[in-house]
Amino acid sequence: MKKYISILTLTAGLLLQGCTKLDQEFYSSVTPETFYKSEKDIKAALFRPFTHAKWYLGEDRWRLQEYTADNFAISTKGRHWYNGGENERYHYHKWTADDGWISESWRGTLMGIALALDAKNDLSKLDYTKFALTAEKQAADLAQLDALIAYFYLRGLDYFGGMPIFESLDQESLPRNTDQELFLHIEKLLKQAIDIIPSKKAGDKEEGAIRKAAVAAMLAQLYFNAESYIGKPMYEESRKISQAIINKEYGDYELDPTWNGVHGFNNNLSPEIIWSMPSEFKMLEYNWFYSNFYHYNSREYFNQDMGGDNGGHLSPSKKPDGTLYSSDFKLGSPYETFDNGDLRKAPYHYLGAENYEGMFIVGLHLSPTGKAILGGEEYDKQPLVFVDQVARFSEVGIGKKYSSIAQLPSKMSEGEENTGIRLVKVPIPNLANNTLRWGADMPAIRLAEIYYMLAECEFRVGDKVKAAALYNEVRKRNFKDTTDPNPLTSTNLDKYRILDEWSIEFLGEGRRRTDLIRWKAFTTENWWDHNASNANHLNRFPVPNSAISGNNSLEQNPGY
């Protein structure tokens, strides 16, 4: 599947230029019966909507999940990154129905559904036996597309609530269905698919196909967040499915023995991956993240040829004076939430031969040869030192704006070029090993998430001992000799420790907002430079004005 997804990247990119309605024609005069000449054509059609899913999992969907929550920010850095106040609007929960990340996510959701319905329409008309394929294979392919449609709708439900339910491409200008109706539609699609899609066998590589356990996991996710979606707690339903996945009832999966096996260059071999989005060098790149997060001169740090835009970073753990925010807020401070000794907390270094350590850019920025990397803005021709703080330290001193650090404000408008620690969740090789670049697949669902869902469900039904044991089973691989200095126990397990564990294990994996909403913390808690609004309508994004202007049947979400 990885090969076919790579071939189709250009096609998907062109389709992203348009397709705002589900009735768009993808072919002019050909029909499925005449277009498909071989099994290769069938695979190309089946995998085309998966290229869109790869794009959809990142970029603006990621931004909506992370930059509206407590772990990440895009601070204004001098003359850079104010962007008309857009970044501040998301951080302060003052977005509008005209903001781009929101409109692109609505469009991207419906486009994914359109692509999957189009492929399903074509493949359902074929006689698979003419291609030496079985009817069972055809049923499994169609079920994969049903599961992919359910995936897009599940994300749409999370972002917007009820959306129009399309079941064919010839439907136009449908009104929004209710949250409950969309929830039941997703549930129906997944339950239909789960009995048809085959399970993973031991030793199988993950190459992007949806297998039985991925369908089960999506169903568990639907139930896990049901209270947020439809006001009905369904943790017991999620608990049963999660336990069954761990028991290998839906396929053979195991926790990866190492922390970075699930993220590394060969993570398609990880026994933990339940569903991943393939990536290929110069094909499905992760460069949107690279560009957003890394400094213009970080190419020297990675020994690479790519410059970054120096925008995003972790929310600060420390005030300008160096004291911790943890005494002020129960959320945020993502870097300091990691325990000392956690193997992931180390600075990122590529060690060669597909090996690397750590996952942060922090402290003095050095090239692999030990040369100090210099800044080009506030610290022009000075060594760059990335700090876990947000403040204009360059403006402190005699004759400058501030006479002492004690006077420095810390807020979204006060960043500098070295502001904030940077995450390296996807490993970057050096130029000598450049064929590895973007070789790591993007995990969409992994077994650790199932452990954490089950743990939270056990906590919610009152079994703190079992919940703690499940968290600890995952945590131990992150420490030398599996010696965890801060394991979970029945006495230290509470809402905030659970949110910390989700933050630590899944930092930067595009889910934080959903976790905060499930715990009723997204609009009710303070974090760095963010005051609680207590406005529950903000748990959903508005329907974009651009969508409403193109379909007068759409109604806006309450509160907007």
| pLDDT of res. 9 | 40
Lookup: tokens for 527? 């974090």
Task: Tell me the pLDDT tens digit for each residue of 89-100.
Answer: 999 999 999 999
On the 0-12 / 13-18 / 19+ scale of CB atoms within 10 A, 130 is: exposed
| pLDDT of res. 34 | 64
Partners of residue 403 on adjacent β-strands:
none
Q: Quick one: pLDDT band at residue 208, thresholds 50, 70, 90?
A: confident
Lookup: tokens for 320? 């300008």
- Phi and psi based region of residue 341 (left: phi greater than 0; alpha: psi -120 to 50; beta: remaining): left
Measure the N-to-C terminal CA separation of the chain; round to a whole number of Å.
42
Residue 321 and residue 465: Cα distance in Å, rounded? 39
Average pLDDT over residues 40-66: 94
Whether the Cβ atoms of residue 296 and residue 308 lie closer than 8 Å to each other: yes
| pLDDT of res. 22 | 54
Task: Tell me the pLDDT tens digit for each residue of 469-499.
Answer: 999 999 999 999 999 999 999 999 999 999 9
| pLDDT of res. 285 | 61
Task: Tell me the pLDDT tens digit for each residue of 402-425.
Answer: 999 999 999 999 999 999 999 999
Residue 541 and residue 558: Cα distance in Å, rounded? 10
| pLDDT at residue 202 tops 80 | no
| pLDDT at residue 8 tops 50 | no
Residue 7 and residue 51: Cα distance in Å, rounded? 10
Q: What is the CATH number of domain 1-24+39-197+541-560?
A: 1.25.40.390
| pLDDT of res. 416 | 98
Whether the Cβ atoms of residue 73 and residue 313 lie closer than 8 Å to each other: yes
| pLDDT of res. 31 | 61
- Our CA angle for 271, 276, 281, nearest 5°, is 110
For 287-312, letters b (16+ CB in 10 Å) and e give eebbbbbbbebbbbbbbbeeebbbbb
Average pLDDT over residues 127-155: 97
Average pLDDT over residues 109-137: 96
Question: 222-236, 282-296, 340-354 — which is least confidently predicted?
Answer: 282-296
What are the boundaries of each domain within the chain?
A: 1-24+39-197+541-560, 287-429, 462-540
| pLDDT at residue 506 tops 70 | yes
| pLDDT at residue 306 tops 50 | yes
- In the block, tokens 């922090």 appear at 362
Higher pLDDT, 9 or 118: 118
Q: Quick one: pLDDT band at residue 32, thresholds 50, 70, 90?
A: low
Average pLDDT over residues 500-509: 98
| pLDDT at residue 27 tops 90 | no
Lookup: tokens for 56? 């959809």
| pLDDT at residue 368 tops 70 | yes
> Which pTM does this prediction carry?
0.93
Task: Tell me the pLDDT tens digit for each residue of 531-540.
Answer: 999 999 999 9
Task: Tell me the pLDDT tens digit for each residue of 422-437.
Answer: 999 999 999 999 988 8
| pLDDT of res. 3 | 42
Whether the Cβ atoms of residue 448 and residue 470 lie closer than 8 Å to each other: no
Task: Tell me the pLDDT tens digit for each residue of 261-287.
Answer: 999 999 989 999 999 987 654 445 667
Q: What percent of the chain has pLDDT over 70?
A: 92
| pLDDT of res. 36 | 86
| pLDDT of res. 20 | 41
Across the chain, mean pLDDT equals 92
